Structure 1
């Protein structure tokens, strides 16, 4: 009789402790505990599996929390870069000059562009917006700058309408366009042109910002690419954008840079082809001819 009771307790007590431990895990206690002791191999194995699972969940949650904190810091850095006092001073000076010259319609348009520029920078607190919204942000910026640099700046934006709902982290293209203006177009003599283009490659969207400005030597380009790969802070927002895209989407995404001295520079942005509405998820498959839904990255 005693032997039967002892055998029964050797089974029921570990099971009770396992049930208690599972309740603790369900309530958020993911710290790895010592497995429940038991003479029964299957119960020991089950308890060890629970603790390994809890430990992995805990590590994953910590990694996710750290990743989100890093992404928030990057977004804040990009937002801070938008509040550029020189950009604001110069824009306001141009608006005043237009009013004094009696060009009220142009002044009104510039005020509207400036308002849109900051409105799209904030995007109601959203981290990810549509490509159409990102295009509007870039267009507002370029219209402001073209009013200031009418003698040296032309631009072309050619993003297919059917990619309008593709999702993109906000503040991805505008810093690249600003970089093209200040480090490309303004560094050469005469008129310059900035091109913003987009296309589908398989299950990805590839955007490009090209300028026909000063360009870079092979040595400068090599240093820049190496710095991006090492995660060093270089260029106007380049490393922040590159690292942010890789954190969000994976190692296969981010920036690729081509440049030739005296010819110009192109920055390619690769992101997954994902759309704002589930019904639109076939868009990129149709455009690329793949015939299959797009997977990975952000959910539709």
Structure 2
């Protein structure tokens, strides 16, 4: 069987794309390895009618709705190889399974590379997070820390003032802030600490203090650590599509990549902001683009 479209990735972008294409009566393979990036998050915010929903519940509802459209097939698999053929695309999964499709939609998202700091992972998803829009509400008005080695630190620190005025900013020994930015942050009562971090200390998932390599420590109850984002799909290089300077897949307004018939949506194309509503909207828009291209080909 040759599907009209194969969607790789079962996050909000891929799920919404499958929904729209199913409604358009397209034969779709929704390929998902069930390893969502937001699995550690207790509640997702900013999606009207679903504010505060857990990622697992969001996926359950999405799959329940998609199952109404019988032309969409859920394929639980991890794709390791993808290539373009004269007639479309071929993808191979880790067990040797093969799927052919006229169009291919990449919705694999990104993976996070966090600074190597002892004690981080036992606290991640419980008191340390990476997205203020996703988890800032639950940490509002508490003593927080933001740790980042990225140039976006100044922006992140300003943003977090909306949730807490008791804020410590840590660069972990990396010069990610200019002197002017440090002065501006300090003028708002933000403590800036540029020395390397030795560890996060806490108990039962709750952060208690941030410890530095010089032996000092600062008490905190929660905070945010900014990761570096990289593509999670191992096969993008095989397809050879153009990428943006930030590392996302370069697309036009309909989600088309530089490769004919290849589309991308969600975090794979737009790294930030990583929110359900953004990704789902991108999936819907891109699915409409896929369907229109298929319609034009079939009509001709």
TM-score, length basis structure 1: 0.22
The higher relative CO (CA closer than 8 Å, separation ≥ 6) is in 2
The structure whose Rg is larger is 1
TM-score, length basis structure 2: 0.22
| The structure with more strand, counted as a fraction of residues | 2
| The structure with more helix, counted as a fraction of residues | 1
